Structure 1
Amino acid sequence: MTEKLFKDFPPVSTQQWEEQIVKDLKGADYDKKLVWKTPDGFKVRPYYRAEDLEGVLHVRGTKEDNNWLVRQTFVVKDNLKEVNALVLDALQRGAESVGFRLETGRKLKKQDIAVLLQGVYVPAVELSFEGMDCSGSDTLYAFLEYLKESETDPSAVRARFSFDPLGDAFFKGTELRKEDIGTLAELVKACRTYPGIRVVSVPGYKWKNLGCGVVQELACSLALGKEYIDLLTENGLSREEAAHALHFHMGIGLHYFLEIAKFRAMRVLWNGISEQTGSVHATTSFWDQTAYDMYVNLLRGTTGAMSAALAGVDSMEVLPFDCVLTEGTAQSTRLARNIQVILKEEAGFNKVADPAAGSYYVENLTVSIVEETRKLTEEILQKGGFAAQQAVQWVHEHIRATRERRMEKIASGREVVVGINKYPDPLGKAPEGLATLPEEKWQRASASFEKMRLKTEQAPEIPVVFLLTFGNLGMCRARAQFATNFFGVAGFNVVDNNRFASVEEGIEAARKRGAHIVVACSSDEEYAAAVPLIFRSLGKQAIVTVAGEPPCKENLMAEGIQHFISVRSNLLETLLQYQKELGL
């Protein structure tokens, strides 16, 4: 069909769209209903048009295709042969990049590296060594010895090391040891004959795991990257050599389009700083992982991987769905790896370069992130950068404020964590090992809710919540569903009922069930007469609660009813108060 039909469909102007939107809103506030404010504070409009791209910087990819490397990371303790076997298996099953995370204080000797890489054709695999600081530089020199002894072509080696003295000082709360920058410069110089080895790591993922926004993650990473270029230049390297020594390890969050735009914005900003495209590895964020209902993490990993792939990262790792509790089992690591394999081999995400280019929405998001990140990066550098305590303290406070805002939204239910503060699995139980989880594993978005639910499960008796449904069928069922989700979040045993023929029948059933909490579920109009009766009958043996905020609330409170749940309730605070009153 070659006939053009555009003449039959006259264009609709932005003004016409806006007039129709205002009409459909029926008086509701436009900004509150349709304009989204990101965690970083900038606003996102409900739609964009071609005219919004006029005068806008267009971001383009830098690769001929959209290929990336699938990474899998292994923890290295004294289990060198075991890790080697796992590496060989992973390489046969889709991994193209291998990470070795060294146990704290662990250094690798040449013979250790030989064991880890036995049977691995180094030119065909990207390698990453993580977990060491500048005092562990012996590992890099041992790797260089191994390469020389094995007569590996220097131009074919691709390796990443996680030396990051500035970042280490920031996250550990210590001061930078100035000699570490000199050590770092020497490490870069030692790798001059190996153009594929990048020594300095910029750990954007660590800021992501603090709960920051995309602008904060980018600004901290870019400021740190620029600072390394300046410091390494002062220690005898050219700016080009210093920039080439860096690689970025970024996090992948759950805001799908924001994450696509974040990585695209990063290309623009880093090129402006270094005149290079940079090397970007991305890992799904640990901050977003949950211990309860952990199979949902597979979906989180999939959407995260899709956003990073579409944005054009160089390599990627999807965390195993059980990463909160383990280093990954055979099943969970296989599933994590296969998420990327499917995106490449079945969905073809690696075929088209920069597929998001030209999207009105993504291009405008990219520009917004570029503008906001540039301002925040400059502010960090003006305060002295990460070598200055003033800047370090300011960044900590800046991120803490964002994290607290996000945690408040999660606590109130305005930001949803599936399976945690909404749609909980009523039959789900705490996975083995959750009660003894080390403190650093609790630094996640879902942690407060998981601790609360674990507390319920550890009680001698699980509280019973009885839904006393009566009256208007539509309202009683809607409020029963809300209450089921509300109390299910805390792991309470919720007993639902279709609808009682009378309030008295419901009262008798609740009494027989021995409920700890009785929730009245009906319409506002029926609460005025029914709830006082329920309270007089059951108030001494159970906490009588009203689902909703009826107009008669003040009158009910005067009768002694003090518990009401609604969409305006702070979910976490309210449930913790119930636990307290029940003696949990």
Structure 2
Amino acid sequence: MNTAAPSDLPYLDAFPAPSHEAWRAAVDKVLKGADFEKKLVGRSVDGIRIEPLYDAASGARAFRAQAGRWHVASRLDHPQADEAQALAMADLEGGAEMLTLAFAGARAARSYGLVADDVATLDRALDGVMLDLIRLRLDPAPQGRVNALMVAALVEKRGHAPSELSIEFGLDPIGVLASHGSLAAPWPELGRRLAAVIAALKQRGFKGPFITVDTRPYHEAGASEAQELGAALATAVAYLRALEAQGLSLAEARDAIAFTLVADTDEFLTVAKLRAARLLWNRVQQACGLTPKPATIHVETAWRGLTRRDPHVNLLRGTIAAFSAGVGGADSLTVLPFTAALGLPDAFARRVARNTQLILLEESNLWRVADPAAGAGGFEALTQALCEQGWSRFQDLERERTDDQQGMLAGLINGHVQQGLARERVASAKAVATRRIPITGTSEFPNIRENAVSVLEVAPVRKSPGQLGSTVARNPGEIVKALLGGLNRSEALIPPHDGLAIDALPSHRLAEPFEALRDKADALPQRPTVFLATLGNIADFTARAGFARNLFEAGGLAAPSGDGFAQNGATDLDALVGAFRQSGAKLACLCGSDTAYVDEGAAAAEALTKAGATVWLAGRPGEIEATLNKAGVSSFIFVGCDVVETLERAQAIVSA
């Protein structure tokens, strides 16, 4: 609502400025006594109040280091070097300007990833890629230290000046611990190795950033926006402490750190989360006595939001998430291809993912405003609320202690992080099952006749552990030289000893319960059918028949409906029962108006039961529940019911 002073548009002054009271009076008139809070006020999973209307507002702003376009990133994640190179070149020629190296073993590689055990193979995968003209980033992965040194060796082999390159080295041992459940050495030793690698890379002229605080493992495990922000801050502070303990100044440690955050389909909360992340990182720097520098933030669209069913809907999800990331101030962005949940995306899916960003950049011109959300009351309020909630979660993590650890590491070791995320997963699973969180194309408006999409025919990578590493201690500089001489990855590893082990965070997509139901139905010799026993005229049963068909098809059960069985203002029960017998179905669902249920529901249920049907009813039975149950209705489907549990029971009936 605009309550500002008269603008520079004179014609606006001819109209009276609306007041909040006048708006509320108009709303109450439309609501007709309904509860304003329940109807129009929402809450995020963190409990943040989301109003239907906000006044214009202003808040603290944290800009990117460089205004302008964000960098379009594509993933280099094909296991075979030659195939990876061809896909990477197509991406770069098609408009990408950043490549993300996802080595085999990285959580984000999804069981694929580049298999490169020596510099020659890495060189082949990047053949033709001009490292001085693009940006390169490494996805956090086990053996991240060796991955970083292999890239450094490749740069030296090609004769580039490291200071002129833009490379994010992706070191994130805490993220690897969270996603994989183990580290090869105690944390003090890992801190020493981390500092040694950073020192060696800086000595060669690389500018970094060297460490990536990656929140994807937490998001995939169910994290809310505030939990993701809290994990990011606590992890970053753990790295600041570790590097300071190894002799780096806080400013040097700060400059070594970049962030990877997630954008999902909640536009407002995604924009607010990214804006809040910058403000919170500034606050951490101030608390450390530093003059704040802008965070470097890479954003990836949400894995947990992708679906395997009706995957073309993922195009819409990717577009919303990409738009939100651009408005929220991402420095670089990866849009996951729409087929990513089905396998390794092909060239077409990768092209569409690139073009999603290019259209937002070139045609929508999102990059031309530094902070488009500034001044909008909704975004400002949500940003401030997430700052408060994120800081609270950060403080909660900082209070965690184990025998010799504190903060994020302690929270992972003692299970505090896992328990908090598990609670969020349970809550989100319930919301998905009841369709309070709808998944278009999967739990809502499913398409049981969907066309197949193509992915690359590549087997998942199953790498053997190989050697335990060299028994000869080498510093990072010596390893780079040895890699240039042909040293194999396994020989550059340090044998594990007395490492850390925790319960790894699960990687979870919201659609998985419904996908499992669809897979089970598709595995049957023929698609099972539910008979929709419609009562009365077509106008009377269409709404509930549509609801029932939508619900059953979400579990892979066909539920066709026709023009009904109306006769003289009622239902021809003989025709209805005859159609049921002809359908071959075992489950029948009554669909009609409340009046029809009162007048004909019991008779229809009794007739269908005698014909051998298990009878359900679409809608809430109200006062006639006992009568319907006595007539044979054994279950009711309605808005807010547990659809997953309902479909499991339906499948048991139709497949018996």
SS of the equivalent of 1:71 reads strand
Alignment of 1:21 with 2:27, yes or no, is yes
Deviation at 1:110, TM superposition (A): 3.3
Farther off after superposition, 17-26 or 91-100: 17-26
Farther off after superposition, 304-313 or 437-446: 437-446
Q: Give the counterpart of 1:566 among 625, 638, 655.
A: 638
Correspondences of 1:153-172 after superposition (within 5 Å): 153-172=161-180
Q: In the alignment, what sits opposite 2:572?
A: 503
Q: In the alignment, what sits opposite 2:467?
A: none
Q: In the alignment, what sits opposite 2:261?
A: 250
User: In 2, are the aligned partners of 1:108 and 1:142 still within 8 Å (CA)?
Assistant: no
* In 2: Cα distance, 1:413 partner to 1:536 partner: 31
SS of the equivalent of 1:98 reads strand
Q: In the alignment, what sits opposite 2:191?
A: 181
User: In 1, are the aligned partners of 2:606 and 2:632 still within 8 Å (CA)?
Assistant: no
Q: In the alignment, what sits opposite 1:411?
A: 433
Q: In the alignment, what sits opposite 2:150?
A: 142
Amino acid paired to 2:153: E
Alignment of 1:536 with 2:545, yes or no, is no
SS of the equivalent of 1:398 reads helix
Deviation at 1:201, TM superposition (A): 1.5
* In 2: Cα distance, 1:520 partner to 1:142 partner: 65
Q: Deviations over 1:193-239 (max 9, x none)?
A: 53532221111122111222111111101110111111111111111
Alignment of 1:277 with 2:342, yes or no, is no
Deviation at 1:388, TM superposition (A): 1.2
Q: CA 1:560/1:132 → structure 2, altered by over 3 Å: closer, same or farther? A: closer
Deviation at 1:145, TM superposition (A): 3.1
Q: In the alignment, what sits opposite 1:98?
A: 99
Unaligned runs of 5+ in 2: 1-7, 107-114, 286-291, 401-405, 462-503
Q: In the alignment, what sits opposite 1:265?
A: 276
Q: CA 1:454/1:150 → structure 2, altered by over 3 Å: closer, same or farther? A: closer
User: In 1, are the aligned partners of 2:220 and 2:506 still within 8 Å (CA)?
Assistant: no
* In 1: Cα distance, 2:635 partner to 2:238 partner: 54
Identity of aligned residues (%): 29
Alignment of 1:212 with 2:223, yes or no, is yes
Deviation at 1:131, TM superposition (A): 4.8
Q: In the alignment, what sits opposite 2:128?
A: 119
Q: CA 1:431/1:555 → structure 2, altered by over 3 Å: closer, same or farther? A: farther
Q: In the alignment, what sits opposite 1:516?
A: 586
Farther off after superposition, 82-91 or 480-489: 82-91
Alignment of 1:40 with 2:46, yes or no, is yes
Amino acid paired to 2:92: L
Q: Give the counterpart of 1:444 among 475, 499, 509.
A: 509
* In 1: Cα distance, 2:594 partner to 2:192 partner: 71
Q: CA 1:141/1:437 → structure 2, altered by over 3 Å: closer, same or farther? A: closer
TM-score (norm 1): 0.93
Q: CA 1:116/1:461 → structure 2, altered by over 3 Å: closer, same or farther? A: closer
SS of the equivalent of 1:282 reads strand
Q: CA 1:580/1:151 → structure 2, altered by over 3 Å: closer, same or farther? A: same
Correspondences of 1:317-396 after superposition (within 5 Å): 317-383=334-400, 384-389=406-411, 393-396=415-418
Amino acid paired to 2:135: E
TM-score (norm 2): 0.83
Deviation at 1:183, TM superposition (A): 0.5
Amino acid paired to 1:535: A
SS of the equivalent of 1:333 reads helix
Deviation at 1:581, TM superposition (A): 2.7
Deviation at 1:467, TM superposition (A): 1.8
User: In 1, are the aligned partners of 2:220 and 2:509 still within 8 Å (CA)?
Assistant: yes
Q: Give the counterpart of 1:67 among 65, 69, 74.
A: 69
* In 1: Cα distance, 2:447 partner to 2:9 partner: 53
SS of the equivalent of 1:337 reads helix
Q: Give the counterpart of 2:629 among 554, 557, 560.
A: 557
Q: CA 1:131/1:395 → structure 2, altered by over 3 Å: closer, same or farther? A: closer
* In 1: Cα distance, 2:452 partner to 2:434 partner: 22
* In 1: Cα distance, 2:66 partner to 2:76 partner: 31
User: In 2, are the aligned partners of 1:205 and 1:252 still within 8 Å (CA)?
Assistant: no
User: In 1, are the aligned partners of 2:411 and 2:417 still within 8 Å (CA)?
Assistant: no
SS of the equivalent of 1:251 reads strand
* In 2: Cα distance, 1:329 partner to 1:107 partner: 21
Q: CA 1:376/1:44 → structure 2, altered by over 3 Å: closer, same or farther? A: same
Amino acid paired to 1:579: Q
User: In 1, are the aligned partners of 2:178 and 2:412 still within 8 Å (CA)?
Assistant: no
Deviation at 1:533, TM superposition (A): 2.3
Farther off after superposition, 540-549 or 569-578: 540-549
Q: Give the counterpart of 2:330 among 300, 305, 313.
A: 313
Deviation at 1:371, TM superposition (A): 1.0
Deviation at 1:527, TM superposition (A): 1.6
Q: Give the counterpart of 1:199 among 181, 190, 210.
A: 210
User: In 1, are the aligned partners of 2:179 and 2:506 still within 8 Å (CA)?
Assistant: no
User: In 2, are the aligned partners of 1:48 and 1:360 still within 8 Å (CA)?
Assistant: yes
Amino acid paired to 1:129: L
Deviation at 1:568, TM superposition (A): 3.2
Alignment of 1:31 with 2:37, yes or no, is yes
* In 2: Cα distance, 1:335 partner to 1:581 partner: 42
Q: In the alignment, what sits opposite 1:580?
A: 652
Amino acid paired to 2:262: G
Alignment of 1:109 with 2:118, yes or no, is yes
* In 2: Cα distance, 1:392 partner to 1:325 partner: 35
Amino acid paired to 1:532: A
Q: Deviations over 1:304-360 (max 9, x none)?
A: 000001111111111111111212111111111111111112221222211111111
Q: In the alignment, what sits opposite 2:529?
A: 464
* In 2: Cα distance, 1:519 partner to 1:513 partner: 13
Unaligned runs of 5+ in 1: none
* In 1: Cα distance, 2:525 partner to 2:116 partner: 47
SS of the equivalent of 2:530 reads strand
Amino acid paired to 1:48: Y
Q: CA 1:568/1:239 → structure 2, altered by over 3 Å: closer, same or farther? A: same
Deviation at 1:20, TM superposition (A): 2.6
Q: Give the counterpart of 1:232 among 214, 239, 243.
A: 243
Q: CA 1:8/1:522 → structure 2, altered by over 3 Å: closer, same or farther? A: same
* In 2: Cα distance, 1:107 partner to 1:84 partner: 12
Amino acid paired to 2:591: C
* In 2: Cα distance, 1:100 partner to 1:420 partner: 31
Q: After TM superposition, where is structure 1 displaced by more than 4 Å over at least 4 residues in a row? A: 105-108, 389-392, 429-434, 436-442
Q: Deviations over 1:372-410 (max 9, x none)?
A: 111111111111312215775112111111121111011
Deviation at 1:22, TM superposition (A): 2.5
Farther off after superposition, 169-178 or 206-215: 169-178
User: In 1, are the aligned partners of 2:218 and 2:505 still within 8 Å (CA)?
Assistant: no
Deviation at 1:479, TM superposition (A): 1.0
Deviation at 1:368, TM superposition (A): 0.8
Q: CA 1:362/1:20 → structure 2, altered by over 3 Å: closer, same or farther? A: same
Q: Deviations over 1:460-519 (max 9, x none)?
A: 342222222232543311111111111111111112012212332222222222222222
Q: CA 1:277/1:517 → structure 2, altered by over 3 Å: closer, same or farther? A: same
Farther off after superposition, 443-452 or 393-402: 393-402
Alignment of 1:398 with 2:400, yes or no, is no
* In 2: Cα distance, 1:457 partner to 1:430 partner: 13
Q: CA 1:76/1:413 → structure 2, altered by over 3 Å: closer, same or farther? A: closer
Farther off after superposition, 564-573 or 16-25: 16-25
Farther off after superposition, 141-150 or 540-549: 141-150
Amino acid paired to 1:233: E
Deviation at 1:63, TM superposition (A): 4.9
User: In 1, are the aligned partners of 2:72 and 2:354 still within 8 Å (CA)?
Assistant: yes
SS of the equivalent of 1:466 reads strand
Q: Deviations over 1:232-284 (max 9, x none)?
A: 11111111111111111111111011101111111111111132212111111
